[in-house]
Amino acid sequence: MSKLFQAFLTGIFFTFILDFFLFLGIFQNYIKLHEIDVYYNILFADNQNIFIFMGFSILIGFLVIYINNNRITATILATLFLLISLTLIESVGESVGQMLLMKKDKTIQWKSYTYHGDIYYDDRESLSFYDYKLDKIILLNKKEIQE
């Protein structure tokens, strides 16, 4: 196996672990907090950015395989893991979830109703929408939304 291919696979492995913990924190502290009905696997798969994932995979793979100083490599990987693990703290996980998933101050026309509020989660088939007037989260079918 070539060293370049080995670096790429190693990078994918480490990036996958970091990605897992990032989305675990978002799931625990944002999705469950707002009682959004979505499984972890769907959240993980639907919200991946392949360019960021591949970029980190290449960078981490290069770091692990080609840098011969284990102290530098371990320090960088431990720092990345520590930063990503911060999403397991409730306030950090909720803030990161809001940054990645929430769309603030939107107006939506659904059937004969107009809602004004925040989109908490944009699913494959529905929206979890917090309406300011109703003061609660409602689930709207995407097929019935008029924009």
Question: Sheet harboring 103-110: ordered strands across?
Answer: 136-141, 126-131, 113-122, 103-110, 145-146
Mark whether 112 and 64 lie in a shared domain: no
Lowest-confidence pick of 9-13, 42-46, 87-91, 95-99: 42-46
Task: Judge if 136 and 86 occupy the same domain.
Answer: no
The residues, any chain, with a CB within 8 Å of residue 36's CB and separated by 6 or more, are 120, 121, 128, 137
Q: Which domain holds residue 57?
A: 3-100
Task: Please answer whether residues 126 and 117 qualify as being in contact, where contact means their C-beta atoms are separated by less than 8 angstroms.
Answer: no
Residue 92 pLDDT > 90, yes or no? yes
Give me the mean pLDDT over the 41-54 stretch: 90
Report the pLDDT value the prediction gives residue 144, as an integer from 0 to 100: 81
DSSP notation for the chain = --HHHHHHHHHHHHHHHHHHHHHHHHIIIIITTTT----HHHHHHHT--HHHHHHHHHHHHHHHHH---HHHHHHHHHHHHHHHHGGGSHHHHHHHHHHHH-EEEEEEEETTEEEEEEEEEE-SSEEEEEETTTTEEEEEEGGGEE-
pLDDT averaged over every residue in the chain: 91
- pTM for the full model? 0.88
Report, as an integer, the average pLDDT of 86-114.
Answer: 92
Residues 8, 75: one domain? yes
Do 86 and 19 share a structural domain?
Answer: yes
Q: Tell whether 137 and 65 lie within a shared domain.
A: no
Q: What is the pLDDT of residues 57-70, one digit of tens each?
A: 999 999 999 998 88
What is the predicted pLDDT for the residue at 142? 84
pLDDT of residue 45: 87
Which of the four pLDDT bands, split at 50, 70 and 90, describes residue 7? Answer: very high
Say if residue 91 is in the same domain as residue 111: no
Do 84 and 109 sit in the same domain of this protein? Answer: no
Give the model's pLDDT for residue 1. Answer: 74
Please state the domain count of the chain.
Answer: 2
Same domain for 93 and 108, yes or no, is: no
Does pLDDT of 34 surpass 80?
yes
> What residues contact residue 9 under an 8 Å CB cut-off, 6+ apart?
61
